[in-house]
Amino acid sequence: MKRILIIYSSVHGQTQKIATKLAQQLTALDNDVVTADIKAVPALAEFDKIIIGASIRHGKHNPSLYEFIEKHQAVLTDKVSGFFSVSLVARKPEKNTPETNPYMQAFLSKTTWRPQLLRVFGGNLNYQGYNALDRNIIRFIMWLTKGPTDPVTNVEYTDWQKVADFGEQIHRA
């Protein structure tokens, strides 16, 4: 049995939902799994594997993600580690891999941490769940990228089979 920590940085809840799904799967595979918001993380030394998931908001990962990684990079490097990024741009097949996703590439250019496991997932588009500013910004971005702009749109772009595959990869690592 491995002790696995899944840390998430989530704005509207989809990254947390993915972290919870991974935790359920890994627990069913006889691992001891803890999920934690990046603002309240337990001692990293207690875990064999550490996975971090972060969402994109207005084209960027939360700055606290980079601060956390910088502070804990030595521990993250010494353990089996992984990172997953959640964004609406990952809804597009040509941008849903670590190699083709611009946000994953930006992440990798901003940190020297090199997790063994990388994955990109599509997020959830729920205009009614956003405040007026976010709703208008996201609708504009969707208009630019040929996505849905109807203000009542609520579409989950997360490929749950891809999440399950990542869970298997974490389990085997």
pLDDT, one tens digit per residue, over 39-64 is 999 999 999 999 999 999 888 999 99
Of 103-107, 114-118, 140-144, the one with minimum mean pLDDT is 140-144
Question: pLDDT confidence of 82, banded at 50, 70, 90?
Answer: very high
Buried b or exposed e, range 137-156, using 16+ CB within 10 angstroms: ebbeebeeeebbeeeeeeee
Nearest-angstrom CA–CA distance, 41 and 21: 18
* pLDDT at residue number 54: 98
* pLDDT at residue number 111: 96
Question: pLDDT confidence of 145, banded at 50, 70, 90?
Answer: confident
User: What backbone phi and psi angles, to 5 degrees, belong to 57?
Assistant: -135, 125
* pLDDT at residue number 59: 86
- Say yes or no to pLDDT of 143 above 90: yes
Residues sharing a CB contact under 8 Å with residue 35, sequence separation 6 or more, in sequence order: 5, 6, 7, 8, 16, 19, 20, 23
- Say yes or no to pLDDT of 119 above 90: yes
Estimate the share of the chain in helix, then strand, then coil, as percent rounded to the nearest 5: 45, 25, 30
Question: pLDDT confidence of 149, banded at 50, 70, 90?
Answer: very high
Give the pair of three-digit tokens for residue 131: 């405040």
Strand partners, 109: none
Contact call for residues 2 and 48 (beta carbons, < 8 A): yes
* pLDDT at residue number 38: 97
* pLDDT at residue number 88: 94
- Tell me the average pLDDT across 107-122: 97
* pLDDT at residue number 42: 95
* pLDDT at residue number 58: 83
Give the pair of three-digit tokens for residue 140: 């504009």
Of 30-39, 54-63, 80-89, 107-116, the one with minimum mean pLDDT is 54-63
